[in-house]
Each structure stands twice: as C-alpha cells, then as structure tokens.
C-alpha cells in the first residue's frame, strides 16, 4: 500500500477534478502490475495496473488507495474491471466519500466473492485527497491561502510595490501550489496593482510530467463586487478567467461574469466556495491581498495557510499581511497548527492548518 500511495502522488498536479489514486497488484509475493491516475478521462489507477499486469492479474491481490469506482463515468467501472480480471482480494485504503460510489464499489466486489479489506493506511490515503473529501462531505473545496511577507510582516512598500519580496526559489515553489489546485482565486485590487497571470509555468514546475501538469486548465476567479477590473489586464485574454461580482450592472467583458450574493457589500465567499465545489473544484488556492485574505481568516474559511517569509525588512510604512477584524479577547484569536517549516532558497516556508 505504501507503494500505491507513492504512485498516487504522480497525479497530484494533474488528475483534478478526479482524486489522485494509486494501485499495485501483487501475486505470490511479487509485484505484477502497478498504475496511477494521471488525467481525468484517461485510465484510472486500477485499469492502468491491470493493463500493466496482463494475464498475471488473475489471482493477484490489489492494493488501492481509494475505493474502486462502481459506476461508469468518464471511464468504465474499476470495480467491474477488477472482477473481470480475476483478482482474488482487494485491499482498500479508504472508502470514497463521493455519494455516487461511497461503499458501492466494495459491495460489488464482495458480491462477486472477492475478499475486501478496508480501511488500511487510511490516514495517509486521506492526506492525498483532502480536497476530494472536503468537496463531497462539506460541499466546499479545500481552501489554501498563500501569503508572502518580510520578517516584519509586510507585503509591500507603502506605494504598493511588492515585486519581488521573496526569492526566485520561493516563487518557483508557488508553482506547485498552483499546480495542485483546480482553481485560483484573487481579488480585483491585486489584479489592478500587479496585473498577474497566475498561471502554471511548466519550466518552473520541477516535477515529473511538468508540462502536462501545466497544460491542465485552471480557471482564475477574480472577486470584483463593483466590476472595476480593467479590460486591459492580462487575465482578460485568458478564456478560463471568471469575474465574480455582486453587481447587476451589465458587464461587457470577454470572459465569464459570475454573479454571487453579497455579504457586507462584498462577494459572499462562503457562497462562492459552494459554487466552486459544484463546479468540481476540489482544491482552491487564494493568492490575494490583505482584505480578501483577512476575510478568509475572519470567517474561518481557510483550511491551510502557506506563508513565505523573506529575510528582509520594510518597516512601519509597509503594507500589512492581513486585514483582520479587531479581537477583544485572546480566546477569540485565530489559531493555527504549524505542520511544516522548511527553507526555500533564502526564504522560510511555513505551512499551517487553521484550527
């Protein structure tokens, strides 16, 4: 199963909207086939492992990181494929939270006389598909907030200049955060100030299948309650860009305009997250300014925060990291659990989950 989990990681940057899955087939103590799911619409992990094993799949034991699918979606049922291949036993790391499957794959296998063991190494498997679990149990994607600051907590000079606070290495590392996300969300002020593309660049994404991962479409959602976004910014030339607004004003933009409910005169982020889940986005990356980032924290909508800290100082005149609501009691502070700290070039990368 440990090998299957490592195989599953190959699809982390490209499989969405599907979860990344790995499968290993073992017969008489020898690995006879293995596979993983790389792209939606292409072979699932089980199908690829069966193809790798050929006739050696008969009487083998299948180790799968997620319950085999019971239904025919973009590809045929993997549970049926395992039955047809004649496997004798299936070890499943975790059940699928997708209600279309949720236990049905295991039931089909057992009804066919195949022994099924589950759960097995469930915690590790869940860690690979946190967004998939969130989308199907909470009806919202996993929300990851990316921030960058100096040692004194500043994100830009007083005039708004912020290129570049962090190093080339840190900016390259951000490519992995973007690549593992099904969508990217930013605010209109960030678009006006920085004119970013927020794209995944294959040449900077130092992972296997880098260019393929970069080519997977990731829409960028611009939160713009007042329809202030200029038509001249780079994102207006990207067809997958979506402007999210609360305004009823007719928008003559060359891209999709999504109207959402308002909360305190801004886009209701919770409602937006529900819409993103409905659009099959399992993991979403927020790259935004202090106001939108602060709203995520204030409303407890961020699941994970990734902060790149540069060994530089700006001083009191610099712009702050977050615009947070005033707190009157220490017990009301937003609390995070630090999961990882590492050096990325000269910068520090801190990954924390929001309690």
Mapped onto helix, strand or coil, the DSSP state of residue 11 is helix
Q: How far apart are CA 307 and CA 147, in angstroms?
A: 5
* Dihedral, 92, 97, 103, 108 alpha carbons, nearest 10: -70
Per annotation, catalytic residue among 9, 34, 46, 287: 46
Q: What is the DSSP letter of 19?
A: P
Mapped onto helix, strand or coil, the DSSP state of residue 21 is coil
Measured in degrees and rounded to the nearest 5, phi and psi for residue 342 equal: -150, 160
Nearest to 273 by CA among 296, 291, 246: 296
**Which residues contact residue 51 at a Cβ distance below 8 angstroms, ignoring those fewer than 6 apart?**
33, 35, 43
CB contact at 8 A, 153 and 320? yes
CB contact at 8 A, 324 and 334? yes
- Please indicate whether residue 280 is annotated as part of the active site: no
Q: How far apart are CA 35 and CA 46, in angstroms?
A: 6
Token output for 235: 């994102």
**Which residues contact residue 122 at a Cβ distance below 8 angstroms, ignoring those fewer than 6 apart?**
93, 94
Q: Nearest-5° angle of CA 226, CA 228, CA 229? A: 130
**Which residues contact residue 283 at a Cβ distance below 8 angstroms, ignoring those fewer than 6 apart?**
16, 130, 131, 141, 142, 144, 180, 181, 182
Residues marked as catalytic: 46
């Amino acid at each position: 199963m440990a090998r299957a989990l490592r195989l599953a990681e190959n699809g982390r940057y490209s499989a969405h909207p599907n979860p990344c899955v790995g499968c290993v087939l073992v017969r008489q103590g020898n690995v006879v086939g293995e596979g993983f799911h790389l792209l939606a619409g292409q072979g699932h992990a089980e199908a690829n492992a069966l193809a790798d094993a050929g006739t050696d799949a008969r009487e083998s034991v299948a180790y799968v990181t997620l319950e085999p699918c019971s239904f025919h979606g973009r590809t045929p049922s993997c549970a049926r494929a395992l039955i047809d291949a004649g496997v004798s036993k299936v070890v499943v790391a975790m059940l699928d939270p997708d209600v279309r499957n949720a236990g049905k794959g295991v039931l089909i296998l057992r009804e066919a006389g195949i022994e099924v063991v589950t759960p097995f190494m469930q915690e590790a498997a869940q860690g690979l598909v946190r967004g998939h679990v969130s989308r199907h149990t909470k009806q919202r994607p996993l929300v990851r907030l990316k921030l960058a600051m100096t040692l004194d907590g500043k994100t830009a000079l007083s005039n708004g200049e912020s290129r570049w606070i962090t190093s080339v290495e840190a900016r390259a590392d951000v490519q992995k955060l973007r690549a593992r996300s099904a969508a990217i969300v930013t605010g209109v002020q960030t678009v006006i100030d920085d004119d970013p593309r927020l794209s995944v660049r294959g040449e900077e994404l130092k992972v296997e299948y880098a260019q393929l991962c970069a080519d997977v479409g990731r829409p960028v959602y611009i939160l713009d309650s007042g329809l202030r976004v200029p038509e001249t910014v780079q994102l207006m030339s990207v067809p997958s860009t979506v402007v999210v607004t609360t305004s009823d004003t007719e928008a003559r933009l060359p891209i999709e305009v999504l109207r959402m409910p308002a909360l305190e005169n801004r886009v209701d982020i919770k409602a937006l997250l529900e819409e993103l889940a409905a659009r099959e986005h399992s993991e979403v990356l927020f790259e935004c300014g202090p106001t939108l980032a602060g709203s995520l924290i204030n409303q407890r909508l961020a699941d994970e925060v990734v902060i790149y800290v540069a060994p530089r100082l700006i001083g009191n005149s610099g712009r702050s990291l977050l615009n947070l609501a005033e707190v009157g009691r220490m017990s009301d502070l937003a609390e995070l659990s630090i999961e990882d700290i590492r050096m990325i070039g000269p910068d520090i990368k801190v990954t924390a989950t929001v309690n």
